[in-house]
Amino acid sequence: MRATLFRLYFQGPLKALPRAPTLLGHLLWWYRYTHGREALEELLERLQQEPPFRLSSVYPEGWLPRPKLPPVQVEETALRKALKSLSLVRLDTFQALAERGEEALLEAPEVLGGARPPEVRRLRRTRVGVDRAAGTACPGVLFTQEYLFPDPKTPHALYVLGEAPFDLGEALAFVGEMGYGGQAGVGLGRFRVEGPFPVDLPEAEAPNAYATLAPGPLEGALYYEVEPYWGRLGGAYVGAKPFKRPYLRTKEGSVYRRPTHRLLEVTPTEPPEAGARVWEALSVFPLGVRVWDS
């Protein structure tokens, strides 16, 4: 499949690699700041129907999420453990999986020990709870947070399908300068952008299902892993009523019958301002796979 590639180079720590719905939220706040509220509402109307573009989550370049295909039966314990722990696969392994199913993993270098994605260094820090009213430390309140430290020279790939109705490179550069995700206000989540570049992504020649590179809705999923999600509000609403309404979605690699899309309303019980509505865009980023023989 022909897509567009942007390379992200992280300039410091972050709490998690960018995932499609949250990254899209950052971009849409930028769109509101630069084009106005009416333009954003018009774009949301288009997103209610067929989205003009779809974003993937971000992966180390050359690696994709393992499609959640029907599992192959394995007796050997070491091999079974290696299969269980595998979450990312190389592009050529993804191509083989899309065509032949999980049997292709039995001869893949990721399982046989010769291939690993670039390591992201992890660091846990102990922090002190703060009494917001008094501005002092809360006695007895300690907690830990984990941070990721990607190699700043390692490119991470963001894939795009379709055409965004704005300059996506400019919008990504803004997000990269301001920071992505939690604690961006204290310098986390900053990245440098290169692109766009054309890229061909692997998929089966005659697919009858689709593995997604982004979290998706539960509707239409064939083989999937569910995760609960309770996101915070961003942009101008940070700090007011921070949590969106919780919901369930599928993880990257889940397999669908067709490229499903849904704009899910997650407005909290008390909206951040009168008349405000909060949306979460769940778009399957589809790469064709075969899950049965017709």
For residue 294, name the pLDDT band (cuts at 50, 70, 90).
very low
- Separation of alpha carbons 288 and 268, rounded Å: 36
H/E run at residue 69: none
Asked if 57 and 252 touch (Cβ cutoff 8 Å), the reply is yes
- Separation of alpha carbons 27 and 41, rounded Å: 14
Residues 199-214 pLDDT 10s: 999 999 999 999 999 9
Which residues 6+ apart lie within 8 Å of 133 measured at CB?
A: none
Residues 4-26 pLDDT 10s: 999 999 999 999 999 999 999 99
The rounded percent of the chain whose pLDDT value lies above 70 is 98
Helices (H) and strands (E) in the chain, counts: 6, 17
Nearest C-alpha neighbor of 64 from the set 161, 202, 199: 202
Residue 166 burial class via C-beta count within 10 angstroms: exposed 0-12, middle 13-18, buried 19 and up: middle
Which one-letter amino acid corresponds to residue 185?
G
Mean pLDDT of the chain: 92
195-233: b (≥16 Cβ within 10 Å) or e:
bbeebebbbbeebebbbbbbbbbeebbbbbeeeebebeb
Q: Is 140 helix (H, G, I), strand (E, B) or coil?
A: strand
Nearest C-alpha neighbor of 216 from the set 181, 241, 248: 248
Q: Please state which of the ranges 5-9, 59-63, 121-125 shows the lowest mean pLDDT.
A: 121-125
